[in-house]
Amino acid sequence: MTEDETVVIPSVVEEEDNEESIEKVDVESLIMSSEEKLQKRLAKKPYIDHLEDGVTKNPDDTFDIKFKPIDRIVVERMCVLLHGNPWLNTRVYSVRAIDEATGLVYLEDEEMMHHSVVNFKSTLSRIKLAPAKGDPFKVVVPKVIVERADGTVGPRRRGRPKGSKSRSRNVIEQERRVKKASKKKKRSSHG
């Protein structure tokens, strides 16, 4: 049995066995240590550092909130119950209401269609601003602007630049004559 295989374990059902009563269990997760499971889970954590912070703390312990109701935000939450406060989840929410006195932000999950509450004063959550549309987890890499061989400026293109191998007829004729002369020289020295 390889590591990638899954084992089918039928659950106990009093009625007839049907396809719904069979659960698939990942063999790899059964034989992994807890550290390996944690590393595998953390590998799924989305990257949000490229997004702008939604809340900043001032030196006088006040908070600047950069979002308002109806805006989209990304919330990364940490787990309170486990040692070291590991990553719990990262979700995209729409803001419904903000209570600045208590620090509570009332949210609506666009994907799961449920409501949630997060405290922007808590150190167990990071709040980032999400773009109005599109995937906030997608990191956009800007195209590299270069000066091309033909003198134009723009994004780098694939392949050989146009005109990089172009030669005039005089140069080509001269190269042919040199090549013919070297071949004649080789033939005369061998025979």
Select from 58, 61, 55, 89 the least CA-distant residue to 73: 55
Q: Is residue 87 part of a domain?
A: yes
Handedness of CA 43, 49, 53, 57 (dihedral sign): positive
Query: Cα–Cα distance between 92 and 135 in angstroms, integer?
Result: 9
- The whole-number average pLDDT for the span 140-162 is 78
The reply to whether 19 falls in a domain is: no
Q: Which residue has the tokens 């002369």?
A: 181
Decide: helix, strand or coil at residue 125. Answer: strand
Domain membership flag for residue 163:
no
Kindly report the CATH number assigned to the domain that includes residue 98. 2.30.30
The single-letter DSSP state of residue 32 is S
DSSP state of 20: G
Structural domain of 67: 55-129
Over range 137-158, report the average pLDDT: 80
Q: How many domains does the chain have?
A: 1
Kindly state whether residue 59 falls inside one of the protein's structural domains.
yes
- What would the two tokens of residue 131 be? 């773009």
Residue 97: inside a domain, yes or no?
Answer: yes
Give pLDDT tens digits for 6-35.
Answer: 555 555 445 555 555 566 666 666 777 878
Q: pTM for this one?
A: 0.57
Q: What is the pLDDT of residue 128?
A: 95
Determine the Cα–Cα distance for residues 165 and 170; give it in Å rounded to an integer.
Answer: 14
Tens digit of pLDDT for each residue in 75-95? 999 888 877 778 888 999 999
Is position 74 within any domain? yes
